[in-house]
Structure 1
């Protein structure tokens, strides 16, 4: 029951259901749901409910951003934006692998309880479609806006884990994310000035 309460709390913190946030696109395949109820999960006691909720939220957030970064690598007008997207994508791919390893280590099933939810830091499917049809400087501006939202929301969520999480590896990863996202926000701001 604690895990479900924490999932609800983290979903609220992340903005699930808010009208100004976004839902993951159906193009990204959702993780398979498990048939076992949460009460039957054999969760490693080194994880608390917030650790688990954060992992379940960050994986789809990062996977969706990887889709958007892939567009930027091909469609951005500014070569510096394309290079930046490639660098950010590499870090996010590594991060997704770490998140999935922590999910496995925790004993949590592979699932995505956030499918169809509006969440801060994520684009809606129509926004992704529109971005895919955009080119030139307009693409760069729209991409930068959405990337900034993702990076900012990721920092907010990671700070909460650094403070209230339990598992040492998860807290360490949250600290890494705060540091990398802050650096990426600075680089993004510098790109916008050019």
Structure 2
């Protein structure tokens, strides 16, 4: 029987996230990664603590999936508010396109997660991760409407897309499994395209 890559514990996931997100901030209150990990991530090399598993996936690969999946899933409720809360039809159409792409990405990420033998739990539940749409963000969006909602949506989604692209670029450089790296490259390209096509909103 082939061994599966172990599911990352919350602590391991946070450390992996720090490596993926350097030079970005990690979880709120989690502190900075140790110097050796910082040097490894900054140099673009795979951290020594993330060896490839028997299936060809490393802990960097599994850490990326366990971050990219909830990051993508949690953006969907915000994007789906655009038609009913916003005022700009171009922004609503853009949000619908981004949401459609995210739903396809969620299916791909879940399939990869299952191939890795990872649990279907969110190890980042409740963490204030860069680019993660939180319950507080959603609550604010549900209270806003019109141009105020549009500005909030665009700011939150731009932040989400920017950080999603960064962690996917990091996985593409540092990951081991070809399937994970290929999906990360596709996600990074999609995020870049969404950022490029985002409509501009007036300041007021």
TM-score range, shorter chain: 0.7 to 0.9
The answer to whether structure 1 residue 101 and structure 2 residue 107 are counterparts is: no
Residue of 15, 35, 45 corresponding to 1:9: 15
1:132-187 per-residue CA deviation (whole Å, 9 max, x = no partner) reads 11011111001000001000001110011111111111111111111111111111
2:40 alignment counterpart: none
In 1: Cα distance, 2:167 partner to 2:13 partner: 13
- TM-score, normalised by the number of residues in structure 2: 0.76
Residue of 154, 163, 171 corresponding to 1:144: 154
Aligned residues between the structures = 170
- Map 1:31-42 → 2, pairs under 5 A: none
CA RMSD of aligned residues (A): 2.3
- Specify every segment of 5 or more residues in structure 2 that has no aligned partner in the other structure, as ranges: 1-5, 30-52
1:115 alignment counterpart: 125
1:118-139 per-residue CA deviation (whole Å, 9 max, x = no partner) reads 1100233222111111011111
2:47 alignment counterpart: none
In 1: Cα distance, 2:144 partner to 2:8 partner: 41
1:191 alignment counterpart: 200
The 3-state SS of whatever aligns with 1:191 is coil
The answer to whether structure 1 residue 63 and structure 2 residue 73 are counterparts is: yes
Residue of 81, 89, 97 corresponding to 1:79: 89
Q: Is the 8 A contact 2:91 2:150 kept in 1?
A: yes
- TM-score, normalised by the number of residues in structure 1: 0.80
Larger helix proportion, structure 1 or 2?
Answer: 1
Distance 1:6 1:48, change over 3 A: farther
Distance 1:119 1:129, change over 3 A: same
In 2: Cα distance, 1:126 partner to 1:108 partner: 28
Distance 1:88 1:179, change over 3 A: same
In 1: Cα distance, 2:17 partner to 2:129 partner: 8
Distance 1:161 1:51, change over 3 A: same
1:10-46 per-residue CA deviation (whole Å, 9 max, x = no partner) reads 3322744327xxxxxxxxxxxxxxxxxxxxxxx7521
